[in-house]
Amino acid sequence: MAEHPAPKLIRHTAESYGVTFRADLFEQYKLYVESAEKISERRVAANNYLLTVNAFLVTLYGLVAASRFNTFWVILVPVAGFLVALTWHRIITSYRDLNTVKFKVIHELEQEMPAALYDYEWHKAEEGRGKAYHPLSHLERWIPIIFIVLYVLLAALSAMGLVN
């Protein structure tokens, strides 16, 4: 199978495109940065929603475990919670990966701009590896993992009959 050449980010020169090249390039840059910001907003909204769902499931587990209807529900609720938390972890990873690619494109596009603000900021933030900045995605992925561990413990305790 023949390999396809890597696509070029900038497909025209100012001469081949026309007089609006710089203005159109800047407009595309602004729209692309806005799309990266919207991904972050959607990630925060998803996190808020899934945190609420998990809080509800933990509360439901407590209510079921304390009631006389705690038969299969004390296993079913943690299993459902485990699946929700696992999905949440995958969603966080997906948003992080998508934003990583988007910011690579933004950094590349900035090579055609007078100032490379995002690239410079990432350099100042020590690419998320130093003391200046710790990416939120590195921290937020632990929340669903904590819920996963909690649900496994709840299911195990329930299966052993330690929850009445």
Boundaries of domain holding 136: 43-159
The total number of structural domains in the chain stands at 1
* pLDDT given at position 122: 83
The pLDDT value recorded for residue 71 is 78
- 126 compared with 66, residue with greater pLDDT: 66
* Residue 90 within any structural domain of the chain: yes
| pLDDT of 164 over the 60 cut | no
Beta carbons within 10 angstroms of residue 95's beta carbon: 19
Residue 2 has pLDDT above 90, yes or no: no
Q: What is the pLDDT of residues 115-156, one digit of tens each?
A: 888 888 888 877 777 777 777 777 888 999 999 999 999 999
Q: Is residue 72 part of a domain?
A: yes
For the chain, what percent of residues have pLDDT higher than 90? 47
Q: How far is CA 69 from the centre of its chain?
A: 37
Please write the tens of the pLDDT for every residue from 9-40: 888 888 898 999 989 989 999 999 999 999 98
pLDDT number for residue 143 = 94
Instruction: Establish if 21 belongs to a structural domain.
Output: no
Classify residue 3: in a domain, yes or no: no
In a domain, 129, yes or no: yes
Tens digit of pLDDT for each residue in 67-84?
877 678 888 999 999 999
Answer with the residue of higher pLDDT: 63 or 162. Answer: 63
User: Does 74 map to a domain?
Assistant: yes
- In terms of Cα–Cα distance, which of 154, 145, 146, 134 is closest to 89? 145
- pLDDT score for 39: 92
Q: Kindly state whether residue 34 falls inside one of the protein's structural domains.
A: no
Question: So what's the pLDDT on residue 163?
Answer: 62
Answer whether residue 25 is part of any domain. Answer: no
pLDDT over 70 (residue 162): no
CA distances from 126 to 41, 113, 133 (A): 24, 22, 7
pLDDT attached to residue 5: 63
Q: Please provide the DSSP assignment of 60-96 as one string.
A: HHHHHHHSS--STHHHHHHHHHHHHHHHHHHHHHHHH
For the packed helices 142-159 and 21-66, what is the interaxial angle rounded to 10 degrees?
A: 20
